[in-house]
Structure 1
Amino acid sequence: MSDRSLYPLRDLPKQRQIWSWISYDVANQSFTLIINTLLFSIFFGKVVVQDDTKDDTLWAIGFGGSMLLAAILSPIFGAAADERGWKKSGLIVTGTICGVFTCLLALIQPGQIWLALLLYIPANCAFALGENFLASFLPALASEKDIGRLSGFSWGLAYLAALLLLALTAGSMLLFKVESVENWRPYFVFAGLWFLAFMIPTIRGLKEPAITQVEHPGRNFVVDGFQRLAESIRHLKGYRDLGLLMLASFFYGTGMSVVVSFASKLAEEYGFDQVKLVLFLAVITVSGIIGTFIPMKFQDRIGHRRITVMLLFVWILAATGFAAYAYLHDSHTAAGGTDYPTWPLWIIGNLLGFGLGSLGSANRAFVGYLSPPEKAAEMFGVWGFMFKLAAVMTIPFAWMKDKSGTPPALLLLAGFIIIGIVFTLMVDEKRGYAAAQRGSK
């Protein structure tokens, strides 16, 4: 086995910066896993809201509302980061806010819905903005032919970190006999401290990319951001393919948001107890690790568009398969049946995990490939706007789930992914890359 196989980034320069950048990908896993995916969504419904008729909708409002705020701020902060060279500062500030507010979630008591939203919304908004700042470093850390490899490797290590977090969570639940959702508060503190601790290498080792900046003297950073956005809009014709990819990201980003925010709630709804729930998330995580290495190994070789379309078909299979299972399960239960088999969910979980890991990494690399290097943070800010705006669609998903049931909601999800495929097929990869290189000159 070659050194390249053991460590696929061996031939890349800036090793210290790469690892300090990867450390942030590991850091924010504690929030996306423990808070968004595994524990807090259930804690919010069972402990804080305590009303099964509206907890899904309220959770979707909190998640979608925070992502809407992030969507509005993403292009402004991204443009300002390019203008002032604030990529690293933005990354550290948003990470610190997320870590501190995550710890404060432990203070929430039953019935304190507004406090829960006032703490969770800025935490999730900061998390989402931090993802944008993190992604904007990609063009400075790797050449266009290596972006997919770096993104995939980092994404894979982040999933390994998530697997470790799951093991620590499950192990402590068994060791300390944590059986009540009410007693999950220490895990929120742990998630926040994990985030803050793994940010330390990022603070110490990551450097602000040295790029040519266009200055607008006399204006504050918000005005600078609007100025850069206005310039991008005027030159948007030159980045047509990147714009199509942004639209595609909106539609299939909805699917990723639903999995992140509703995976544990859906699994619990279909018969998974606390232990099975953690195991289910572990299955999704392991599949995500496997899926992440697919674009890392092949994306730069076979093309960004081709592999993205392949991964989107995996998502359609998972969404429609889940809808069919939910329909059969609900029909069986309505007829008075009990003990409906849960084994199909394990297969669906593998597909969801595979799709979540691989599509996330592939999409991030695709955007980096089509972005002009000197406008990287700005373009990733626009990407953040579209991708985070997609999370708002969890609100109609939750509303349809409450009104019509889970199967129609999942079919709606599949429809959004199909639209995303259509826009992805309209992207001309070579033309888009040529436009990005012209913009960098």
Structure 2
Amino acid sequence: MSSNSLQDAPVYASRREIFGWAMFDFANQAYTLLIITVVFGELFTTVIVGDQDDGFRLANFLWSLALATSYLMVVVSAPLCGAIMDYRAEKKRFLMASYLATVATTAMLYFVEPGFVVAGLVLIVLSNYAYSMGESFIAAFLPELGPPGALGKISGFGWSLGYIGGLFAAGFTLLVLGEATAENFERIRWVGPFAAGFFFVAAIPTFLWLKERGVAKPTGVSYRRIAFGQLRSTFLELRHFRDLTIFLVSLLFSMAGVYIIIAFAFIYGAQVIGWDESVRNIMFIVVQVTAAAGALGFGFLQDKLGAKRTYQMTLALWVVAIVAIWATPELTAWVNARFGWSWQAQYVFLVVGCLAGLSLGSSQSASRALVGVFSPLARSAEFFGFWGLSNKLAGVLGIVMLGVLQTLIGLQASILLCVGLFIVAMLICALVNEARGREAAGAWKST
């Protein structure tokens, strides 16, 4: 095994550097929230495609196909890029490239009008690919920011700051751009340029303060040879990182469920719950606040209880949240009939949104930190490339399964798929030995 060129890295990065790293989460949340989760997803399915005759099933399927395609591109390229970044000490360079590509393609969504389905699909594929690659690139810096016992709260701080960024982005959208409807199209089409501008400006501290600590190995070797050579070496060493491997399989199932919720939660609210604009706007805020609280709270909890146990707790929370999402219409009707009340499902859904928000923030933070704990510093970009692979392969599988399933049985019943995915993830994660995984990462860097 190789020695770790970063073994002399400081125990903690400076507060300014940690803040700069976390600001990338703050910045890119505008893309996740406004383009994938809420505004553009709803705009694409209901206005740009907008085929109501089949209950938007074709529109939903096309949306899932675009996201799955972009995630499949990440599956192919993330580990290769990670290997190159470690070898050439170019994490910031690759991060910059993904950042600029995301900004450019997101801004171009302004030109997607009703009926421009192909243009919308192409730009979503490109922008979401660039954004998703950036997720892996920024995560690769995490193991350098503090000791393993502190990665939970550092990761949680990043995710919580990200959801605060989403709250700012959502606030502007609610106050200035309005709702995603055909009547408001000329205003809401600016959501692409706004998300791009927010990302561009807010991520500047990342590139000013985040350090590139790696040491480049001898040049004169092509990127292709570096990538495949490093990956070949990693695959030969996977037995040494047994617990990381098992965890990435667990992550494949859990993130499949998470990506379904990210891609379809607000579409579900519009099509199944039938909420009005005011409730949709409140849900913007509810999800961001509770997700920030979940990421920060569980981040501190993780450093006390352990990363594996915390991750398992977040999956159990997800199971409860998904059952509540599925049951909202029927539960509301039953309560009203039983007690003579007149509750509306959309208001019950707001309460469920609190639970989903806590689950979302906590599970994403816990999984990223656990990969950081299991990763040797000198191979962090490559290992987080595999994290990106597992994440996005999960996105492909989850979103395609949901996209096909909802064409057969409808969106409401299909959401229960997530329950099965989270339960399988919990069972697989039970095989992970956190202490052994930490020791494997430590042993690698000391030899």
TM-score normalised by structure 1 residue count: 0.91
> In 1, distance between residues paired with 2:225 and 2:50?
44
Using a 3 Å threshold, how does the CA distance of structure 1 residues 394 and 178 change in structure 2: closer, same or farther? closer
Aligned to 1:32: 32
Alignment RMSD, CA only?
A: 2.2
> In 1, distance between residues paired with 2:101 and 2:13?
31
Aligned to 2:228: 226
> In 1, distance between residues paired with 2:34 and 2:374?
33
Are the counterparts in 2 of residues 170 and 275 from structure 1 also a CA contact under 8 Å? no
Whether 1:125 and 2:165 are equivalent positions in the alignment is no
Are the counterparts in 1 of residues 66 and 122 from structure 2 also a CA contact under 8 Å? no
Please identify, of 32-41 and 165-174, the stretch whose mean Cα deviation from structure 2 is larger.
Answer: 165-174
Query: For structure 2, which runs of at least 5 residues remain unmatched after alignment?
Result: 1-10, 336-341
Residue 233 of structure 1 aligns to which amino acid in structure 2? F
The alpha-carbon deviation at position 199 of structure 1 amounts to 2.3
Aligned to 1:48: 48
Aligned to 1:420: 425
Aligned to 1:335: none
Counterpart of 1:94 (choices 95, 98, 107) is 98
Counterpart of 2:164 (choices 157, 160, 167) is 160
Aligned to 2:7: none
Matched residue pairs, number? 423
The alpha-carbon deviation at position 174 of structure 1 amounts to 6.1
Are the counterparts in 2 of residues 248 and 421 from structure 1 also a CA contact under 8 Å? yes
Aligned to 1:253: 255
Whether 1:210 and 2:214 are equivalent positions in the alignment is yes
The alpha-carbon deviation at position 314 of structure 1 amounts to 0.4
Are the counterparts in 1 of residues 405 and 414 from structure 2 also a CA contact under 8 Å? yes
Using a 3 Å threshold, how does the CA distance of structure 1 residues 161 and 178 change in structure 2: closer, same or farther? farther
> In 2, distance between residues paired with 1:339 and 1:308?
34
Are the counterparts in 2 of residues 27 and 195 from structure 1 also a CA contact under 8 Å? yes
> After the TM superposition, which residues 241-390 of structure 1 pair with which residues of structure 2 at under 5 Å, given as runs?
241-269=243-271, 270-326=273-329, 341-390=345-394
The alpha-carbon deviation at position 89 of structure 1 amounts to 0.6
> In 1, distance between residues paired with 2:175 and 2:81?
40
TM-score normalised by structure 2 residue count: 0.90
> In 1, distance between residues paired with 2:118 and 2:309?
45
Are the counterparts in 1 of residues 177 and 188 from structure 2 also a CA contact under 8 Å? no
The alpha-carbon deviation at position 248 of structure 1 amounts to 0.8
Aligned to 1:434: 439
1:249-285 CA-to-partner distances (Å, cap 9, x unmatched) read: 1100012111211111011111112232121121111
> In 1, distance between residues paired with 2:98 and 2:82?
13
Residue 61 of structure 2 aligns to which amino acid in structure 1? T
Aligned to 1:185: 189
The alpha-carbon deviation at position 341 of structure 1 amounts to 2.9
> In 2, distance between residues paired with 1:120 and 1:182?
19
Query: Percent identity of the aligned residues?
Result: 30
Counterpart of 1:140 (choices 141, 144, 167) is 144
The alpha-carbon deviation at position 48 of structure 1 amounts to 1.7
Counterpart of 1:79 (choices 83, 86, 95) is 83
Using a 3 Å threshold, how does the CA distance of structure 1 residues 279 and 438 change in structure 2: closer, same or farther? same
> In 1, distance between residues paired with 2:333 and 2:115?
30
The alpha-carbon deviation at position 408 of structure 1 amounts to 3.0
Using a 3 Å threshold, how does the CA distance of structure 1 residues 329 and 72 change in structure 2: closer, same or farther? farther
Aligned to 2:339: none
The alpha-carbon deviation at position 110 of structure 1 amounts to 1.8
> In 2, distance between residues paired with 1:62 and 1:276?
28
Please identify, of 123-132 and 259-268, the stretch whose mean Cα deviation from structure 2 is larger.
Answer: 259-268
Are the counterparts in 2 of residues 323 and 406 from structure 1 also a CA contact under 8 Å? no
Residue 252 of structure 1 aligns to which amino acid in structure 2? S
Please identify, of 428-437 and 22-31, the stretch whose mean Cα deviation from structure 2 is larger.
Answer: 22-31
The alpha-carbon deviation at position 183 of structure 1 amounts to 2.9
Using a 3 Å threshold, how does the CA distance of structure 1 residues 331 and 65 change in structure 2: closer, same or farther? farther
The alpha-carbon deviation at position 218 of structure 1 amounts to 4.2
> In 2, distance between residues paired with 1:403 and 1:353?
28
Residue 130 of structure 2 aligns to which amino acid in structure 1? A
Aligned to 1:106: 110
Whether 1:201 and 2:205 are equivalent positions in the alignment is yes
The alpha-carbon deviation at position 381 of structure 1 amounts to 0.2
Are the counterparts in 2 of residues 47 and 182 from structure 1 also a CA contact under 8 Å? no
The alpha-carbon deviation at position 326 of structure 1 amounts to 4.9
The alpha-carbon deviation at position 329 of structure 1 amounts to 7.5
Are the counterparts in 2 of residues 43 and 182 from structure 1 also a CA contact under 8 Å? no
Are the counterparts in 2 of residues 173 and 179 from structure 1 also a CA contact under 8 Å? no
Using a 3 Å threshold, how does the CA distance of structure 1 residues 436 and 235 change in structure 2: closer, same or farther? same
Residue 28 of structure 1 aligns to which amino acid in structure 2? N
1:313-340 CA-to-partner distances (Å, cap 9, x unmatched) read: 00001112222235667999xxxxx985
Aligned to 1:14: 14
> In 2, distance between residues paired with 1:21 and 1:13?
10
Are the counterparts in 1 of residues 105 and 123 from structure 2 also a CA contact under 8 Å? yes
Please identify, of 406-415 and 60-69, the stretch whose mean Cα deviation from structure 2 is larger.
Answer: 406-415
The alpha-carbon deviation at position 403 of structure 1 amounts to 1.1
Residue 428 of structure 1 aligns to which amino acid in structure 2? N
Residue 166 of structure 2 aligns to which amino acid in structure 1? A
> In 2, distance between residues paired with 1:395 and 1:329?
30
Whether 1:398 and 2:403 are equivalent positions in the alignment is yes
> In 2, distance between residues paired with 1:331 and 1:116?
40
> In 2, distance between residues paired with 1:318 and 1:45?
24
Are the counterparts in 1 of residues 178 and 188 from structure 2 also a CA contact under 8 Å? no
> In 2, distance between residues paired with 1:222 and 1:76?
8
Using a 3 Å threshold, how does the CA distance of structure 1 residues 348 and 226 change in structure 2: closer, same or farther? same
> In 2, distance between residues paired with 1:80 and 1:356?
31
Are the counterparts in 2 of residues 326 and 407 from structure 1 also a CA contact under 8 Å? no
Using a 3 Å threshold, how does the CA distance of structure 1 residues 214 and 245 change in structure 2: closer, same or farther? farther
Counterpart of 2:237 (choices 220, 235, 238) is 235
Query: For structure 1, which runs of at least 5 residues remain unmatched after alignment?
Result: 1-10, 333-337
